[in-house]
Amino acid sequence: MKSYEAPGVVVSFDAEVCQHAGICVRGLPRVFDTTARPWIQPANATVDDVVSQVEMCPSGALSVQVTDGGDRQP
C-alpha cells in the first residue's frame, strides 16, 4: 500500500485490491492522473472533494484519512 499526503489529508492506495474501474480518474482527474508521477496528488483539490471521491471507490483500493478538518482549497 502506498500513501500520498497533502495538507489535511492522506490518500492510501492498495494496487492488489484495485479493480481498475476508473471511477477515481473520471471523477477527479486533477487528483487521480495515471499519466502523472505520483499519480495521486491530493493537494490538487479540496480535502472534502478528495474524501468524497475516495468514498466512491468500488473495490476499496483507495482509503482516506483527514488529518485536520475539511473545506480546504488547493
* CATH number of the domain encompassing residue 42: 3.30.70.20
Count structural domains, the chain: 1
- Domain membership flag for residue 71: no
Give the range of the structural domain holding residue 7, as residue numbers without chain letter: 2-66
Asked whether residue 74 is assigned to any structural domain, the reply reads no
Q: What is the DSSP letter of 32?
A: B
The kind and range of the H/E element at 13 are strand 9-13
pLDDT digits (tens, 9 = 90+) for 29-52: 999 999 999 999 999 999 999 999
Q: Is residue 28 part of a domain?
A: yes
pLDDT reported for residue 14 = 97
Q: How confident is the model at residue 68 (pLDDT cuts 50, 70, 90)?
A: confident
- Position 73 scores a pLDDT of 47
Give the tens place of pLDDT for each residue, 11-33: 999 999 999 999 999 999 999 99
In order of 33, 41, the CA distances from 12 in angstroms are 15, 11
Q: pLDDT at residue 53 above 80?
A: yes
Q: What is the pTM of this model?
A: 0.88
